[in-house]
Amino acid sequence: MRHFHVEPGMLATQLADSLVERLLKTHLADRVVERVVDSLIRSAALDRVVAKVISSLEASPAVDALVDRQVDRVLAGLCASDALRKLIRDQAGAYLEYVRAQRLIQDQSRGVARELEDSIRERVMTLDDALESWARRVLGRT
Amino acid sequence: MTTRYGGLASRLLANVVDVVILAFLVAGTQWILDQLARQVLLIDVAHCPQTDLWWRPRPQLCRLLPWTGPLAVIVYPVVYRLGFWTLTGWTPGMRLMGLRLVRTNGRRVGLATALLRMLAVTLTALTLGVGYLLVLVSPRRQALHDRIAGTVMLQSRAARPTTPSARDAPHPAAGA
């Protein structure tokens, strides 16, 4: 007859595993888990823990370094991206085209207004001279 | 390049433009005051409350409001012309016609000259147009008020009147 030597600690672990497995299969386990989660959500202790974790993350140089590394990686990827370059070039081109068109329209309108102004002025100046010569004729002056 | 002076038609057209601008200014002021009175102060000018108590602002304002229009008609043209003549030498209407008001020595018009010209314009108006017709026969196209105030109306053919930097330069006709 062979004897198997079983460590007492190992037996306890196996027992606990099977017990937990069985417990999880029952409806009781669902209710227990639900209640635990519910009480955790309602407890102020959880809030404090979360706040503490977040503040410790904020102050952590390791997190900073991680974020920096990720940002550098993303930025390097963006800088090297041909698609992004093309997009920027296209948008800048479209904007410059728009500005150029606006300036052209403004210049044209200004030019038309100035031409109109000049033409009115010329005509009125001619009228000035005509009125003056008429007055001189009437008064018999040269 | 010979100096050209503004003739009767140019001056008349410049005046028409200025009068139109002034009409808009007066009408705009009247409208704003009207809206303020109706919407903010809740004053109905047609039905002013009767009171003998002078310290009550609403009835007083209600009685004053109809006078703002006539007052603006008198004050605006004077301030407009005095302001433009002294600050730039031209009103918008004059600028459109390329006219610039200067003293006979070519220097810019000061407040005293502008005031004298303004008073003289009233005198010219009293002559029923004869004062204006002097422009047709005067060698430098001066109206009666120009002769009184010692001013001339320069005219340039270019789209813009002469630059302000040249404003203080002596005029070629100085002392003529």
Mean per-residue pLDDT for A105-115? 93
Tell me which residue range forms the domain holding A121: 94-142
Identify whether A113 is part of a domain. Answer: yes
Is A56 or B104 the better-scoring residue by pLDDT?
B104
A-chain residues within 8 Å CB-CB of B97? Answer: 120-121, 124
B-chain residues within 8 Å CB-CB of A139? Answer: 137
Beta-bridge partner residues of B108: B102
Is B159 or A130 the better-scoring residue by pLDDT?
A130
Q: Which of A118, A120, A131 sits opposite B136 (nearest CB)?
A: A131
Closest-CA residue of chain A to B155: A125
State how far residue A38 is from chain B, nearest Cα, in angstroms.
59
Closest-CA residue of chain A to B4: A125
CB pair distance less than 8 Å for B7 and A135: no
Q: What is the pLDDT along chain B (176 residues), one digit of tens a residue?
A: 678 999 999 999 999 999 999 999 999 998 998 888 888 877 777 777 776 666 777 777 887 888 888 899 999 999 999 999 999 999 999 999 999 999 999 899 999 999 999 999 999 989 888 899 999 988 899 999 999 999 999 998 765 544 444 434 444 444 43
Identify whether A64 is part of a domain. Answer: no
CB pair distance less than 8 Å for B136 and A117: no
CB pair distance less than 8 Å for B137 and A135: yes
Strand boundaries in B15-140, DSSP class E: 99-103
CB pair distance less than 8 Å for B7 and A139: no
- Alpha-carbon distances of A15 from A12, A29, A34, rounded to whole Å: 5, 17, 24
Place A30 in a pLDDT band, splitting at 50, 70 and 90.
confident
Q: How many domains does chain A have?
A: 1
Place A21 in a pLDDT band, splitting at 50, 70 and 90.
confident
CB pair distance less than 8 Å for B133 and A129: no
B-chain residues within 8 Å CB-CB of A133? Answer: none
Each domain of chain B, given as residue ranges in start order, spans: 4-166
Sorted by sequence, the CB contacts under 8 Å of residue B59 that are 6+ apart come out as: B48, B49, B50, B51, B53
Please, are residues B14 and B94 in contact by the beta-carbon 8 Å criterion?
yes
Element containing residue B152 per DSSP (H, E):
strand B151-155
Where helices occur in chain A by DSSP H, the ranges are 8-25, 27-42, 44-58, 61-80, 82-139
CB pair distance less than 8 Å for B7 and A131: yes
pLDDT number for residue B169: 43
Query: How far is residue A142's CA from residue A133's CA, in Å, rounded to a whole number?
Result: 8
State how far residue A39 is from chain B, nearest Cα, in angstroms.
59
Token reading at B116: 């004298």
ipTM above 0.90, yes or no: no
Identify whether A35 is part of a domain. Answer: no
Identify whether A18 is part of a domain. Answer: no
Query: How far is residue A7's CA from residue A114's CA, in Å, rounded to a whole number?
Result: 106
Angle at which helix B130-137 crosses helix A82-139, to 10 degrees, equals 90
Mean per-residue pLDDT for A102-129? 92
Tens-digit pLDDT profile for residues A59-92 = 888 888 998 999 999 999 888 889 999 999 999 9
Identify whether A119 is part of a domain. Answer: yes
Identify whether A8 is part of a domain. Answer: no
Identify whether A108 is part of a domain. Answer: yes
Closest-CA residue of chain B to A118: B159
CB pair distance less than 8 Å for A114 and B159: yes
A-chain residues within 8 Å CB-CB of B4? Answer: 125
CB pair distance less than 8 Å for B13 and A124: yes
